[in-house]
Amino acid sequence: MFAIPYLIGGIVAATEDGIINKIHVLSKGGGMSSYSKRQFVRIISVGIIAALMLSPSAWAWGRIGHRVAAEMAESRLSPRALAVIHELLGPGVSLSDISTWADEHRNPSSGAWHYVDVPITESRYDPKYCLSKGCVVSKIADFRRILIDRRADKFKKQEALKYLVHFIEDLHQPLHVADNNDRGGNQTQVRFFNRGSNLHRLWDSQLIENKSHNEQDWLRDINSLATSQNVSQWSKGTPEDWAAESLQIAKKAYCLPGTNTVMPSGTKLDDNYCRMALPIIQTQLAKAAIRVAATLNEIFR
Protein backbone atom coordinates (compact mmCIF):
# COMPACT_ATOMS: atom_id res chain seq x y z
CA MET A 1 0.00 0.00 0.00
CA PHE A 2 3.03 2.24 0.24
CA ALA A 3 4.12 1.48 -3.29
CA ILE A 4 2.91 4.76 -4.80
CA PRO A 5 4.87 7.15 -2.55
CA TYR A 6 7.96 4.98 -2.97
CA LEU A 7 7.49 4.91 -6.72
CA ILE A 8 7.27 8.69 -6.83
CA GLY A 9 10.30 8.83 -4.52
CA GLY A 10 12.16 6.45 -6.84
CA ILE A 11 11.42 8.57 -9.89
CA VAL A 12 12.23 11.81 -8.11
CA ALA A 13 15.53 10.40 -6.83
CA ALA A 14 16.38 9.11 -10.28
CA THR A 15 15.78 12.51 -11.88
CA GLU A 16 18.63 13.97 -9.90
CA ASP A 17 21.48 12.42 -11.90
CA GLY A 18 21.56 12.44 -15.73
CA ILE A 19 19.47 14.61 -18.02
CA ILE A 20 18.64 14.19 -21.73
CA ASN A 21 15.65 15.51 -23.60
CA LYS A 22 12.30 14.40 -25.06
CA ILE A 23 10.40 13.41 -21.90
CA HIS A 24 9.80 15.98 -19.19
CA VAL A 25 9.45 15.06 -15.55
CA LEU A 26 8.78 17.26 -12.56
CA SER A 27 11.95 17.13 -10.46
CA LYS A 28 12.29 17.29 -6.69
CA GLY A 29 12.88 21.05 -6.72
CA GLY A 30 9.71 21.62 -8.77
CA GLY A 31 11.57 22.31 -12.06
CA MET A 32 11.25 20.24 -15.23
CA SER A 33 13.90 17.67 -16.22
CA SER A 34 14.11 16.09 -19.68
CA TYR A 35 14.85 12.45 -20.61
CA SER A 36 15.27 10.27 -23.67
CA LYS A 37 12.59 7.59 -23.96
CA ARG A 38 15.04 4.83 -23.09
CA GLN A 39 16.25 6.67 -19.99
CA PHE A 40 12.68 7.35 -18.94
CA VAL A 41 11.77 3.66 -19.22
CA ARG A 42 14.86 2.82 -17.19
CA ILE A 43 13.95 5.35 -14.53
CA ILE A 44 10.39 4.04 -14.30
CA SER A 45 11.73 0.47 -14.02
CA VAL A 46 14.11 1.47 -11.24
CA GLY A 47 11.21 3.22 -9.51
CA ILE A 48 8.97 0.17 -9.79
CA ILE A 49 11.69 -2.20 -8.56
CA ALA A 50 12.45 0.16 -5.67
CA ALA A 51 8.74 0.38 -4.86
CA LEU A 52 8.39 -3.42 -4.84
CA MET A 53 11.48 -3.86 -2.69
CA LEU A 54 10.49 -1.19 -0.21
CA SER A 55 6.77 -1.83 -0.14
CA PRO A 56 6.40 -3.38 3.32
CA SER A 57 3.47 -5.66 2.67
CA ALA A 58 3.41 -6.14 -1.07
CA TRP A 59 2.93 -9.89 -0.64
CA ALA A 60 1.08 -10.64 2.55
CA TRP A 61 1.78 -14.33 3.31
CA GLY A 62 3.84 -14.19 0.15
CA ARG A 63 2.87 -15.94 -3.04
CA ILE A 64 3.75 -19.44 -1.85
CA GLY A 65 1.78 -19.20 1.40
CA HIS A 66 -1.37 -17.89 -0.26
CA ARG A 67 -1.24 -20.38 -3.11
CA VAL A 68 -0.66 -23.52 -1.07
CA ALA A 69 -3.33 -22.67 1.50
CA ALA A 70 -5.83 -22.05 -1.33
CA GLU A 71 -4.86 -25.29 -3.07
CA MET A 72 -5.39 -27.26 0.11
CA ALA A 73 -8.71 -25.44 0.66
CA GLU A 74 -9.91 -26.33 -2.84
CA SER A 75 -9.18 -30.03 -2.22
CA ARG A 76 -11.56 -29.88 0.75
CA LEU A 77 -14.54 -28.26 -0.98
CA SER A 78 -17.86 -30.02 -1.26
CA PRO A 79 -18.91 -30.98 -4.84
CA ARG A 80 -21.62 -28.28 -4.67
CA ALA A 81 -19.20 -25.52 -3.53
CA LEU A 82 -16.65 -26.61 -6.14
CA ALA A 83 -19.27 -26.42 -8.90
CA VAL A 84 -20.48 -22.93 -7.89
CA ILE A 85 -16.90 -21.67 -7.58
CA HIS A 86 -15.88 -23.01 -10.98
CA GLU A 87 -18.97 -21.46 -12.50
CA LEU A 88 -17.97 -18.11 -10.93
CA LEU A 89 -14.27 -18.20 -11.82
CA GLY A 90 -14.53 -19.77 -15.25
CA PRO A 91 -12.90 -22.90 -16.69
CA GLY A 92 -9.40 -23.79 -15.57
CA VAL A 93 -9.15 -21.12 -12.85
CA SER A 94 -8.33 -22.51 -9.42
CA LEU A 95 -8.62 -21.00 -5.93
CA SER A 96 -4.84 -20.98 -5.85
CA ASP A 97 -4.80 -18.85 -9.05
CA ILE A 98 -7.03 -16.18 -7.50
CA SER A 99 -5.51 -16.30 -4.00
CA THR A 100 -2.97 -13.50 -4.62
CA TRP A 101 -5.29 -11.28 -6.73
CA ALA A 102 -6.11 -8.99 -3.79
CA ASP A 103 -2.41 -8.20 -3.25
CA GLU A 104 -1.89 -7.63 -6.97
CA HIS A 105 -4.85 -5.21 -7.07
CA ARG A 106 -4.24 -3.19 -3.94
CA ASN A 107 -5.32 0.42 -4.05
CA PRO A 108 -5.47 3.21 -1.46
CA SER A 109 -8.97 2.23 -0.33
CA SER A 110 -8.38 -1.53 -0.12
CA GLY A 111 -4.91 -1.41 1.48
CA ALA A 112 -6.28 -1.35 5.03
CA TRP A 113 -8.51 -4.38 4.42
CA HIS A 114 -5.56 -6.79 4.57
CA TYR A 115 -4.81 -6.38 8.29
CA VAL A 116 -5.91 -5.07 11.66
CA ASP A 117 -3.49 -3.51 14.12
CA VAL A 118 -4.28 -4.94 17.57
CA PRO A 119 -1.67 -4.02 20.23
CA ILE A 120 0.30 -7.11 21.31
CA THR A 121 -0.48 -6.16 24.91
CA GLU A 122 -4.16 -7.04 24.30
CA SER A 123 -5.47 -10.48 25.16
CA ARG A 124 -8.22 -10.60 22.52
CA TYR A 125 -9.26 -9.06 19.24
CA ASP A 126 -11.59 -6.11 19.80
CA PRO A 127 -13.64 -4.56 16.95
CA LYS A 128 -12.55 -1.10 18.13
CA TYR A 129 -9.24 -1.75 16.37
CA CYS A 130 -10.99 -2.20 13.03
CA LEU A 131 -10.74 1.12 11.17
CA SER A 132 -13.89 2.73 9.75
CA LYS A 133 -12.61 2.02 6.23
CA GLY A 134 -12.62 -1.69 7.10
CA CYS A 135 -10.08 -4.25 8.24
CA VAL A 136 -9.33 -7.89 7.54
CA VAL A 137 -11.97 -9.07 10.03
CA SER A 138 -14.83 -6.82 8.87
CA LYS A 139 -14.10 -7.37 5.18
CA ILE A 140 -14.39 -11.16 5.56
CA ALA A 141 -17.93 -10.57 6.86
CA ASP A 142 -18.68 -8.04 4.08
CA PHE A 143 -17.57 -10.34 1.26
CA ARG A 144 -19.32 -13.34 2.80
CA ARG A 145 -22.53 -11.27 2.76
CA ILE A 146 -22.08 -10.54 -0.96
CA LEU A 147 -21.55 -14.23 -1.72
CA ILE A 148 -24.81 -15.26 -0.05
CA ASP A 149 -26.76 -12.35 -1.56
CA ARG A 150 -29.00 -13.71 -4.31
CA ARG A 151 -29.28 -10.26 -5.89
CA ALA A 152 -25.50 -9.65 -6.19
CA ASP A 153 -24.33 -9.97 -9.80
CA LYS A 154 -21.71 -12.43 -11.02
CA PHE A 155 -18.91 -9.87 -11.26
CA LYS A 156 -19.47 -8.70 -7.68
CA LYS A 157 -19.52 -12.29 -6.43
CA GLN A 158 -16.38 -13.15 -8.35
CA GLU A 159 -14.57 -10.22 -6.74
CA ALA A 160 -16.01 -11.11 -3.30
CA LEU A 161 -14.70 -14.67 -3.65
CA LYS A 162 -11.20 -13.45 -4.53
CA TYR A 163 -11.16 -11.15 -1.51
CA LEU A 164 -12.71 -13.65 0.89
CA VAL A 165 -10.16 -16.40 0.18
CA HIS A 166 -7.27 -13.94 0.41
CA PHE A 167 -8.44 -12.24 3.61
CA ILE A 168 -9.11 -15.46 5.53
CA GLU A 169 -5.52 -16.39 4.65
CA ASP A 170 -4.14 -12.96 5.61
CA LEU A 171 -5.92 -13.20 8.97
CA HIS A 172 -3.76 -16.23 9.77
CA GLN A 173 -0.50 -14.33 9.26
CA PRO A 174 0.04 -13.27 12.91
CA LEU A 175 1.61 -9.94 11.99
CA HIS A 176 -1.48 -9.02 9.97
CA VAL A 177 -3.34 -8.89 13.27
CA ALA A 178 -0.81 -7.74 15.87
CA ASP A 179 1.06 -4.50 16.23
CA ASN A 180 3.73 -3.14 18.56
CA ASN A 181 3.60 0.48 17.37
CA ASP A 182 5.68 -0.71 14.44
CA ARG A 183 3.09 -1.13 11.69
CA GLY A 184 2.69 -4.85 12.30
CA GLY A 185 6.42 -5.53 12.47
CA ASN A 186 7.25 -3.50 9.34
CA GLN A 187 9.28 -1.09 11.43
CA THR A 188 11.05 -3.74 13.51
CA GLN A 189 14.25 -4.16 11.55
CA VAL A 190 15.99 -7.53 11.84
CA ARG A 191 19.09 -9.23 10.44
CA PHE A 192 17.90 -12.54 8.98
CA PHE A 193 20.93 -14.75 8.33
CA ASN A 194 22.88 -11.51 8.28
CA ARG A 195 20.72 -9.79 5.68
CA GLY A 196 18.59 -6.76 6.45
CA SER A 197 14.85 -7.34 6.68
CA ASN A 198 11.95 -6.61 8.97
CA LEU A 199 9.77 -8.81 11.13
CA HIS A 200 6.67 -8.42 8.98
CA ARG A 201 8.41 -9.41 5.77
CA LEU A 202 9.97 -12.38 7.53
CA TRP A 203 6.52 -13.75 8.40
CA ASP A 204 4.97 -12.83 5.05
CA SER A 205 7.44 -14.72 2.93
CA GLN A 206 11.07 -15.01 3.98
CA LEU A 207 10.63 -17.74 6.58
CA ILE A 208 8.61 -19.74 4.04
CA GLU A 209 11.09 -19.23 1.22
CA ASN A 210 14.05 -19.95 3.48
CA LYS A 211 12.65 -23.45 4.03
CA SER A 212 11.53 -24.20 0.49
CA HIS A 213 10.34 -22.48 -2.69
CA ASN A 214 8.61 -25.68 -3.71
CA GLU A 215 4.83 -25.38 -3.41
CA GLN A 216 4.34 -29.16 -3.51
CA ASP A 217 6.65 -29.60 -0.48
CA TRP A 218 4.66 -27.02 1.43
CA LEU A 219 1.36 -28.54 0.36
CA ARG A 220 2.45 -31.98 1.55
CA ASP A 221 3.55 -30.58 4.93
CA ILE A 222 0.37 -28.62 5.61
CA ASN A 223 -1.90 -31.40 4.34
CA SER A 224 -0.31 -33.76 6.85
CA LEU A 225 -1.72 -31.56 9.63
CA ALA A 226 -5.31 -32.16 8.51
CA THR A 227 -6.05 -34.97 10.95
CA SER A 228 -9.74 -35.49 11.67
CA GLN A 229 -9.24 -34.08 15.16
CA ASN A 230 -7.53 -30.91 13.87
CA VAL A 231 -10.09 -30.45 11.12
CA SER A 232 -13.04 -30.65 13.48
CA GLN A 233 -11.35 -28.31 15.96
CA TRP A 234 -10.10 -25.78 13.40
CA SER A 235 -13.37 -25.62 11.47
CA LYS A 236 -15.04 -23.99 14.45
CA GLY A 237 -15.09 -20.34 15.50
CA THR A 238 -15.54 -16.98 13.86
CA PRO A 239 -13.07 -14.63 12.14
CA GLU A 240 -12.95 -12.73 15.47
CA ASP A 241 -11.81 -15.93 17.22
CA TRP A 242 -9.24 -16.60 14.50
CA ALA A 243 -7.93 -13.04 14.91
CA ALA A 244 -7.59 -13.56 18.68
CA GLU A 245 -5.61 -16.73 17.95
CA SER A 246 -3.29 -14.91 15.53
CA LEU A 247 -2.77 -12.19 18.14
CA GLN A 248 -1.57 -14.76 20.70
CA ILE A 249 0.77 -16.31 18.16
CA ALA A 250 2.16 -12.91 17.22
CA LYS A 251 3.37 -12.47 20.78
CA LYS A 252 5.77 -15.36 20.13
CA ALA A 253 6.75 -13.90 16.77
CA TYR A 254 7.73 -10.64 18.45
CA CYS A 255 9.84 -12.31 21.16
CA LEU A 256 13.34 -13.69 21.11
CA PRO A 257 12.98 -17.50 20.85
CA GLY A 258 12.31 -19.15 24.20
CA THR A 259 11.83 -15.86 26.03
CA ASN A 260 9.10 -13.32 26.76
CA THR A 261 11.36 -10.49 25.70
CA VAL A 262 10.16 -8.43 22.76
CA MET A 263 13.04 -8.24 20.31
CA PRO A 264 14.55 -4.82 19.77
CA SER A 265 15.06 -3.47 16.27
CA GLY A 266 18.31 -4.79 14.79
CA THR A 267 18.03 -8.27 16.36
CA LYS A 268 19.94 -11.03 14.55
CA LEU A 269 17.76 -14.02 13.70
CA ASP A 270 18.79 -17.38 12.29
CA ASP A 271 18.07 -21.13 12.56
CA ASN A 272 16.97 -20.80 16.14
CA TYR A 273 14.15 -18.45 15.15
CA CYS A 274 13.22 -20.58 12.11
CA ARG A 275 12.85 -23.65 14.35
CA MET A 276 10.32 -21.75 16.48
CA ALA A 277 8.49 -20.12 13.56
CA LEU A 278 8.19 -22.85 10.93
CA PRO A 279 5.80 -25.20 12.79
CA ILE A 280 3.64 -22.16 13.58
CA ILE A 281 3.57 -21.12 9.93
CA GLN A 282 2.67 -24.64 8.79
CA THR A 283 -0.15 -24.80 11.32
CA GLN A 284 -1.45 -21.34 10.43
CA LEU A 285 -1.48 -22.17 6.71
CA ALA A 286 -3.29 -25.46 7.40
CA LYS A 287 -5.84 -23.69 9.62
CA ALA A 288 -6.37 -21.03 6.96
CA ALA A 289 -6.97 -23.73 4.33
CA ILE A 290 -9.44 -25.63 6.50
CA ARG A 291 -11.30 -22.43 7.38
CA VAL A 292 -11.44 -21.17 3.78
CA ALA A 293 -12.96 -24.54 2.82
CA ALA A 294 -15.36 -24.60 5.78
CA THR A 295 -16.50 -21.03 5.05
CA LEU A 296 -17.08 -21.69 1.34
CA ASN A 297 -18.80 -25.03 2.00
CA GLU A 298 -21.14 -23.25 4.37
CA ILE A 299 -21.83 -20.36 1.95
CA PHE A 300 -22.48 -22.65 -1.03
CA ARG A 301 -24.27 -25.48 0.74
Binding site residues, Zn ion, CB under 5 A: 60, 103, 114, 170
Query: Which residue number, 71 or 103, has a Cβ lying nearer to Zn ion?
Result: 103
Q: How far is the CB of 268 from Zn ion (least distance, A)?
A: 28
Query: Which residue number, 110 or 267, has a Cβ lying nearer to Zn ion?
Result: 110
Strand pairing report for 118-119 and 178-179: parallel
Q: How far is the CB of 287 from Zn ion (least distance, A)?
A: 17
Helix (H/G/I), strand (E/B), else coil: 24: strand
Q: How far is the CB of 173 from Zn ion (least distance, A)?
A: 8
Give me the residue whose beta carbon is nearest to Zn ion: 60
Query: Which residue number, 168 or 290, has a Cβ lying nearer to Zn ion?
Result: 168
Calculate the alpha carbon distances from 161 to 20, 181, 294 in Å.
Answer: 48, 32, 14
Q: Which residues in 165-200 are b (16+ Cβ under 10 Å) and which e?
A: bbbbbbbbbbbbbbbbebbbbbebebebeeeebbbb
Query: Which residue number, 178 or 263, has a Cβ lying nearer to Zn ion?
Result: 178
Q: How far is the CB of 12 from Zn ion (least distance, A)?
A: 28
Query: Which residue number, 14 or 95, has a Cβ lying nearer to Zn ion?
Result: 95
Q: How far is the CB of 91 from Zn ion (least distance, A)?
A: 26
Q: How far is Cα 99 from Cα 85, in angstroms, rounded to an integer?
A: 13
Query: Which residue number, 243 or 269, has a Cβ lying nearer to Zn ion?
Result: 243
Query: Which residue number, 60 or 147, has a Cβ lying nearer to Zn ion?
Result: 60
Q: How many residues does the chain have?
A: 301
Give the residue ranges of DSSP H helices in the chain. 3-14, 37-54, 62-74, 79-89, 95-98, 101-104, 136-148, 154-171, 199-201, 207-211, 215-223, 228-234, 239-254, 271-299
The CB density around residue 115, as the number of other CB atoms within 10 Å, is 26
Q: How far is the CB of 194 from Zn ion (least distance, A)?
A: 28
Q: How far is Cα 166 from Cα 115, in angstroms, rounded to an integer?
A: 11
Task: Report the phi/psi class of residue 92: left, alpha or beta, with left for phi > 0 and alpha for psi in -120 to 50.
Answer: left
Q: How far is Cα 1 from Cα 24, in angstroms, rounded to an integer?
A: 27
Q: Which helix (H) or strand (E) holds 130?
A: none
Signed CA dihedral, 198, 200, 205, 210: sign only: positive
Query: Which residue number, 60 or 199, has a Cβ lying nearer to Zn ion?
Result: 60
Q: How far is the CB of 2 from Zn ion (least distance, A)?
A: 14
Helix (H/G/I), strand (E/B), else coil: 262: strand
Helix (H/G/I), strand (E/B), else coil: 119: strand
Q: How far is the CB of 92 from Zn ion (least distance, A)?
A: 24
